[in-house]
Amino acid sequence: MEEMMQPGWEHLVDSVRSGNTSFEKVFGQDFFSYLHENPERSAGFNQAMSRATESTAAVLPEAFDFARFATIADVGGGDGTLLAAVLREYPSANGILHDTEDGLAQAPETLRRHGLVDRCTLAPGDFFASVPEGADVYLIKSILHDWSDQQCVEILAHCRQVLPADGRVLIIEPVLPEVVDPRSVGLYLGDLNMLVNWGGRERTRQEFDEVCRQAGLEILSVVPLGGPGFCLIEAKAIALGVA
Ligand SMILES: C[S@@+](CC[C@H](N)C(=O)[O-])C[C@H]1O[C@@H](n2cnc3c(N)ncnc32)[C@H](O)[C@@H]1O
């Protein structure tokens, strides 16, 4: 991971001045295109994400009551670590695990290990084109901070398009304080990492409100999830005619 992340940091000043991603300057392509051409690194990244998600996977099934939802999708869900934790806790629910082919490469093994092959469908795809239909709740963890506001609106609008009236989008991301807080130094370093390596950013509650509103969603609650600043942001569709 360091071999991929470090070079971008060496051009931090350029990124801060220009707002452009340094990763592309160093590697000549964006992060996920680079992973596509380097399957070993892609597998390493998926594994690192899986490990990083374990702490959220340990608390999410208790932090949110999924009992009334029959089908749970994870958009950009990687190897399925988070979705597997939810499905194991809610045995009557089925899952849809969405990601690119590269992102899903390790998912069959994760689902097999958790005994979930029969309860979870793999849905390869591109969330800038669409997200899979048929779920009642859409998880989306550590995705939005990889992208610009406009790209976040596109991804969330695709979730909104397929969301049932009483469905939910559950965004799981760090949330920056509204006023800069020096105790949150880790969050600001994460924010810079998103800039130099992906061209994304961390966001405040107000900034999440705005991208959700533009996508036709309204935030109902934001609760801390434990771990490094991660919060659970529960959103539902703004009723047509009200948006
Ligand atoms: C930072 S990882 C987060 C993975 C997982 N949600 C987690 O928190 O462990 C970002 C994920 O987005 C996926 N991704 C990137 N571009 C995508 C696209 N256009 N459509 C679908 N998934 C994409 C990557 O393959 C990767 O699995």
Condensed to tens digits (0 to 9), the pLDDT of residues 205-221 reads 999 999 999 999 999 99
pLDDT band (50, 70, 90) for residue 241: low
In the numeric block, which tokens belong to residue 79?
A: 């190897």
The larger pLDDT score, comparing residue 126 to residue 182, is at 126
Q: Is 220 exposed, middle or buried (0-12, 13-18, 19+ CB in 10 A)?
A: exposed
From the CA of 193, how far away is ligand 1's center (Å)?
A: 16
Angle at the Cα of 214 (from 80 to 176), degrees rounded to 5? 65
CA distance 243 to 240: 6
What pLDDT, on a 0 to 100 scale, did the predictor assign at position 242?
52
Eight-state DSSP code of residue 148: -
In the numeric block, which tokens belong to residue 169?
A: 């989008």
* pLDDT exceeds 90 at position 183: no
| Marked catalytic residue, from 11, 98, 114, 145 | 145
Task: Please name the residue whose Cα sits nearest to atom 12 of ligand 1.
Answer: 76
Give percent of the chain above pLDDT 70.
98
In the numeric block, which tokens belong to residue 213?
A: 């509103």
Give Cα separations from 164 to 133, 135, 152, 169 (angstroms): 10, 8, 20, 10
The number of the ligand 1 atom at minimal distance from the alpha carbon of 56 is 8
* Domains of the chain: residue spans and CATH: 53-237 (3.40.50.150)
How does the average pLDDT of the chain come out, rounded? 95
Q: Is 218 helix (H, G, I), strand (E, B) or coil?
A: strand
What pLDDT, on a 0 to 100 scale, did the predictor assign at position 228?
65
Helix (H), strand (E) at residue 12 = helix 12-18
Eight-state DSSP code of residue 57: H
Mean pLDDT value across residues 213-232:
91
Mean pLDDT value across residues 97-104:
98
